[in-house]
Amino acid sequence: MICAWMETSSAEIGSSQTMKSGLTASARDLYTAPKHPYTEALLSAVPIPDPTVKRQRIRLQGDVPSPIRPPSGCRFHTRCPIRVLPLCATEVPPLEEKSDGHWAACHLRD
């Protein structure tokens, strides 16, 4: 359930929409094919309990935006490693079902 929350939270960050029931992804889908760059960054920080396995960490740059004055467009655009300007800075990405039962808000991800 935590996994589903993470992806829902990512979608929420991208769209600034309130969490709704049904905005979930299966744990397998979330881990194997995250649909939002923020989710990817979160998952890249999860430790692997095997010292021989290395994971490429995604380190987000910049400061966390103020919740009082959130950025325009996609709320994640100031820290997103794959953003496309000006679209991401001006247009709020719609919350979409990217695959069966897997919802996310991102202009670039299908």
Chain positions contacting ligand SF4, by CB under 6 A: 14, 36-37, 74, 76-77, 80, 82-83, 88, 93, 106-108
- Whose Cβ is closer to ligand SF4: residue 14's or residue 34's? 14
Q: How far is the CB of 100 from ligand SF4 (least distance, A)?
A: 20
Total count of residues recorded for the chain? 110
Rounded (10°) angle between helices 2-15 and 37-44: 140
Cα angle 90, 93, 95 (rounded to 5 degrees) comes to 160
- Whose Cβ is closer to ligand SF4: residue 83's or residue 98's? 83
Q: SS3 for 4?
A: helix
Instruction: Give CA–CA dist 55/61, Å, rounded.
Output: 18
Contact 4, 24 (CB under 8 A): yes
Q: How far is the CB of 109 from ligand SF4 (least distance, A)?
A: 6
- Whose Cβ is closer to ligand SF4: residue 3's or residue 106's? 106
Q: How far is the CB of 66 from ligand SF4 (least distance, A)?
A: 17
- Whose Cβ is closer to ligand SF4: residue 34's or residue 37's? 37
